[in-house]
A and B are shown apart, each in its own frame.
Chain A
Amino acid sequence: MKFIKNIKSKNLRALVIIFISILIIVAGIFNSALSGAGNLSSFGYSLISTVCPLGALEAMMAANTIIPRALLSLGVVVLLMVLVGRAFCAWVCPVPLLQRWFPGYKGKKDHPDNQQKTLDLPQSDSKPAGSGSRGYRIMRSIGFDSRYVVLAGALVSTAAFGFPVFCLVCPVGLVFATIFTIFRLFAFGELTVTLLAFPLILILELVVFRKWCTKICPLGALISLIASVNRFFRINWDKSKCLEVTEGTLCSLCHKACSRENVDPRGKVLATNDLNSCTKCRECVDACPSKAISFPFLPKHKEK
């Protein structure tokens, strides 16, 4: 535990992603022991298996029926999300890790967000700004952004043309497809254009759309929607430790650290809604100089 606490979250995440990816690849290549484990689109043994929620939804829309087995795996996914919310996007999905390795990755140093923030603490007793229309409130409550537009597009296209359209270009699928194609080249001598085309499409998506995860990814959008069921490991901001409260300094380091999702860990009032977007990456935990932020297994009910 001590050891784990000492590594930076960023590196810990990379380790976990690499570990899970290697597990999937090994299971796929030495498939006698773990046969039929599948790739990330559906990983698991036999019926105890996860399924990509977007893939399952697309399949049901395209086939225009309820698919009992897909529902079962979907249930497994929802249960996992009760436990860890949107953690998939920070701890499992290989896309953000790959983006870190491609040219054009903006490290934290380059982040344009280095101005002083105003000291204006959210007052815990003030009402959320839910004054607008009903639609506006709903949009706010799910943290509506462009990803949902893409999600809608993917589903409409799927329903209209009768096959899971997004699956064709899904970067997560392409990552594993590329790896397995390379494996098949060596194992079976299968030389196909796939070998070139898949990595090309993938790189195109990741390099051209640097903000893939926060602006486009319909899978992330769907996961954010489902993440509202999350009950455990929710972010906890300890007011009594926060420097802005105890010393009245301008800190905001936690919020700045969340450059990807732009969640404010001091949220409660400000950004209750976008907590569903929190990927539990722990960048804010690392950033806080006074250790005011944590992800306790059970929510702390101190103030209510």
Chain B
Amino acid sequence: MTFLKKTDTRSEEQTQTTGLTRRGFALGCGSAAALLALGGTVKVVGSEALCRPPGGQDEDAFIAACIRCDKCLQICPTNVLVPAPLEKGLLNARTPTFNFKLGWCDYCKESHAGVPQCAKVCPTEALKLPEGAKPENVIMGKAYIVKEWCLAWRLKNCRICVDECPYDAIEFNNDGFPVVLLDKCNGCGLCENVCISMISTKIVNNATDRAITVKPTMTVDYLLAKESRSGGRS
């Protein structure tokens, strides 16, 4: 392993640290193995589904390319994008997701004539809008109402989300209770943003979140299936 000539002026210590010593090789292999193990573990453990900004709807393609650079979070004019915390899984940590308490995604209509800025700045095309993408067909999630927490469902005469929804995706059913029209909702989050149920905690004191929240489509499908199985109690 003599990488060096006789004329070398390096001391023993330095020659040891140059090139690939056996110890260095072991350390390298150890770290490489650790990265393989990390990748495998994270993949096997899986991660929670999250709502993604426009262009990040193909989760596999998104997670393959996102390098957690924060550009999308920083440019979002409504500040609805936040870095996912570690609680959502190591794989999700620092990737962009929504916090609809802070804002809602208007598809950048207000500020940039409907050109999603997040997808525009993403350096690795982790956010990439397909041809012909428009707010109506970019589905970021679905709104879901917890009836026990909803003021209207508790006969309190609230109609805020119904009035605010830009896609007319919430309406009163025949009994006068608000319901989400799943084929119209694109998960923009305005309803969650404006919902006042948590502010009126005196009325609904066991609520842990707002009555209407936006979740990934598959999560909402699961919740609705569970709801109908438990026999339409409400």
A residues sitting closer than 8 Å to B (CB atoms) are 27-28, 31, 35-39, 41-42, 46, 49, 51-52, 55-56, 58-59, 62-64, 67-70, 73, 112-113, 115, 117-123, 126, 129, 139-140, 143-150, 152-154, 156-158, 160-169, 173, 176-177, 180-181, 184, 188, 190, 192-194, 197-198, 214-216, 252, 255, 262, 264, 269-270, 274
Report which of B66, B68, B102, B123 forms a contact with A188, defined as CB distance below 8 A.
Answer: B102
A80 → B minimal CB distance (Å) = 15
Report which of A62, A157, A193 forms a contact with B64, defined as CB distance below 8 A.
Answer: A62
Establish whether residues A190 and B125, one from each chain, have CB atoms under 8 Å apart when the complex forms: no
Establish whether residues B7 and A154, one from each chain, have CB atoms under 8 Å apart when the complex forms: no
CA distance A150 to B20 in the complex (A): 12
| A73 neighbours in B (Cβ, 8 Å) | 123
Report which of A70, A112, A190 forms a contact with B85, defined as CB distance below 8 A.
Answer: A190
B15 → A minimal CB distance (Å) = 9
| B115 interface residue per 8 A CB criterion | no
| B86 neighbours in A (Cβ, 8 Å) | 192-194, 197-198
| A55 neighbours in B (Cβ, 8 Å) | 67, 69, 124
A221 → B minimal CB distance (Å) = 10
| A39 neighbours in B (Cβ, 8 Å) | 69-70
| B90 interface residue per 8 A CB criterion | yes
| B182 interface residue per 8 A CB criterion | no
A182 → B minimal CB distance (Å) = 12
CA distance A152 to B126 in the complex (A): 23
Establish whether residues B7 and A262, one from each chain, have CB atoms under 8 Å apart when the complex forms: no
CA distance A264 to B29 in the complex (A): 27
Establish whether residues A38 and B39, one from each chain, have CB atoms under 8 Å apart when the complex forms: no
If the complex has contacts A161-B40, A176-B70, A180-B70, are A62 and B65 also in contact, measured as CB distance less than 8 A? yes
Establish whether residues A129 and B4, one from each chain, have CB atoms under 8 Å apart when the complex forms: yes
| B75 interface residue per 8 A CB criterion | yes
Report which of A52, A140, A168 forms a contact with B91, defined as CB distance below 8 A.
Answer: A168
Establish whether residues A154 and B67, one from each chain, have CB atoms under 8 Å apart when the complex forms: no
Establish whether residues B69 and A143, one from each chain, have CB atoms under 8 Å apart when the complex forms: no
CA distance A28 to B86 in the complex (A): 20
| A184 neighbours in B (Cβ, 8 Å) | 82-83
8 Å CB interface, B100-115 against A: 102
| B27 interface residue per 8 A CB criterion | yes
Nearest CB in chain B to that of A39: its residue: B70
| A31 neighbours in B (Cβ, 8 Å) | 74-75
Establish whether residues A157 and B35, one from each chain, have CB atoms under 8 Å apart when the complex forms: yes
8 Å CB interface, B9-50 against A: 9-11, 13-14, 17-20, 24-25, 27-29, 31-36, 38-40, 42-43
Establish whether residues A153 and B33, one from each chain, have CB atoms under 8 Å apart when the complex forms: yes
Establish whether residues A59 and B68, one from each chain, have CB atoms under 8 Å apart when the complex forms: no
| A35 neighbours in B (Cβ, 8 Å) | 74-75, 77, 117
CA distance A118 to B7 in the complex (A): 8
| B183 interface residue per 8 A CB criterion | no
Report which of B13, B67, B71 forms a contact with A112, defined as CB distance below 8 A.
Answer: B13
Establish whether residues B71 and A163, one from each chain, have CB atoms under 8 Å apart when the complex forms: no
If the complex has contacts A153-B33, A165-B35, A270-B7, are A37 and B20 also in contact, measured as CB distance less than 8 A? no
Q: Which of B5, B28, B34 has the most CB of A within 10 A?
A: B28
| A162 neighbours in B (Cβ, 8 Å) | 43, 60, 63-64
Establish whether residues A215 and B10, one from each chain, have CB atoms under 8 Å apart when the complex forms: no
CA distance A96 to B10 in the complex (A): 23
If the complex has contacts A38-B70, A164-B67, are A51 and B9 also in contact, measured as CB distance less than 8 A? no
Establish whether residues B65 and A161, one from each chain, have CB atoms under 8 Å apart when the complex forms: no
If the complex has contacts A120-B7, A154-B35, A180-B83, are A149 and B28 also in contact, measured as CB distance less than 8 A? yes
| B222 interface residue per 8 A CB criterion | no
CA distance A62 to B65 in the complex (A): 7
Establish whether residues B32 and A152, one from each chain, have CB atoms under 8 Å apart when the complex forms: yes
